[in-house]
Chain A
């Protein structure tokens, strides 16, 4: 009888283990299906979509080009992009003249940073952290996935084939709102921390900037755009603070005069 009991316990444990393994497989497949969803839009189509958005942004927002702040942004971006192992994007970084504290990515590897965010940052490393995070969204194809989820694949395809122009505006608003799922935010953060380390920029800069956003949250409610789209910030700050770099990691400072950046933004 004892051997039967033992056998029954083993059967029960095996069923339990199988259920758990099945659960893990299911969860893994669901998270993977989001990634697979983005592959229903090819890189060429994504670039095309990005160009449509770029034209709209060009019409709707004043941009800052060819001044010291812009060249500083390009210098930061260049360091980051050259540290990505391999990428299918030709990244472009643009400053939008606006007091809002925000940054967003549109399809095709086009990243926009609001001048309000650059004014808030105290070092180029903090801006690098934001850019690395946005690059993370691009590399993980979160923007395309979000558009498909919110607007449907057929709407994205319709826009590409010259469909309803109102739809493009609606899509752009969705992209600028920068609302990603918590999982997407975490994934972009993890990507950013690794990228910052690879680019010899201290990952702690990400914690510093997020902390600044948190502090700002307490004082200025009108400047919450970026914060509100990035919930569970404490957890993210903590993760960035605790991120363990390689033993031989030594950060390489940027040769950017940040005061000059701030001045050039104010003069615009």
Chain B
């Protein structure tokens, strides 16, 4: 598997660094809006990803990492919300110790996600890579892998010099 070379911090434009940082920071605003329904932040991450992924590989990597990490966090929080609402509205279910343990688990996961996101945003602003466990290498592959389609060149160049 081939990969494009990683740019070094001094090779990355300030605007690129800001856009890469934005992938993590934008999520905080989205979380505040969508706290009771933890899906707004996921939608925001998806939109941000598709708008920015083509700008540069560095931005693509950070957007992908922010989005991929967002997915399990959203699923974990959604389970907590659905479980909680079910307990509230249904006579069949009770708030057991297992439920509260899950709420603690979801809370700690979200907190950890916030912490690593802040670190990643800071590193991105400095033009540095920051790899999350599992999602970091995965995002690196998404952004930096050389795809066969990348090398497709027409045998005859379309534009030719005049002489």
CA–CA, A4 and B131, complex, Å: 13
CA–CA, A23 and B101, complex, Å: 4
CA–CA, A17 and B133, complex, Å: 16
Q: Please, which residues of chain B bring their CB within 8 A of the CB of A186?
A: 94
Q: Please, which residues of chain B bring their CB within 8 A of the CB of A23?
A: 100-105, 108
Q: Mark A220-260, 1 if CB is under 8 A from B, else 0.
A: 00000000000000110110000000000000000000000
Partner of A5, one of B1, B102, B103, B134: B134
Partner of A9, one of B91, B103, B108, B134: B134
Chain B interface extent, by class: 10 to 19
Q: Please, which residues of chain A bring their CB within 8 A of the CB of B138?
A: 5
Check if A20 sits within 8 Å of B137, measured CB to CB: no
Partner of A19, one of B92, B105, B134: B105
Looking at the assembled complex, report how far the CB atom of A190 sits from the nearest CB atom of chain B, in whole angstroms. 10
Q: Please, which residues of chain A bring their CB within 8 A of the CB of B109?
A: 16, 19
Looking at the assembled complex, report how far the CB atom of A12 sits from the nearest CB atom of chain B, in whole angstroms. 5
Chain A interface extent, by class: 20 to 34
Could you tell me the dominant secondary structure of chain B's interface residues?
helix
Check if B91 sits within 8 Å of A20, measured CB to CB: no
CA–CA, A31 and B104, complex, Å: 14
Check if A19 sits within 8 Å of B108, measured CB to CB: yes
Q: Mark A170-210, 1 if CB is under 8 A from B, else 0.
A: 00000000000000001000000000000000000000000
Q: Does A8 contact B (CB under 8 A)?
A: yes
Check if B97 sits within 8 Å of A27, measured CB to CB: yes
Q: Please, which residues of chain B bring their CB within 8 A of the CB of A163?
A: none
Q: Does B152 contact A (CB under 8 A)?
A: no
> Can you pick out 8 interface pairs between chain A and chain B where the beta carbons lie within 8 Å of each other?
A1-B1, A1-B137, A12-B134, A19-B109, A23-B100, A24-B98, A26-B101, A28-B97
Chain B residues packing against A (C-beta within 8 Å):
1, 91-92, 94, 97-98, 100-105, 108-109, 133-134, 137-138
Chain A residues packing against B (C-beta within 8 Å):
1, 4-5, 8-9, 11-12, 16, 19-20, 22-24, 26-28, 31, 186, 234-235, 237-238
Given A11-B133, A16-B109, A186-B94, output 9 extra A-B contacts at Cβ < 8 Å: A1-B1, A1-B137, A5-B134, A8-B134, A19-B105, A20-B102, A23-B108, A24-B97, A24-B104
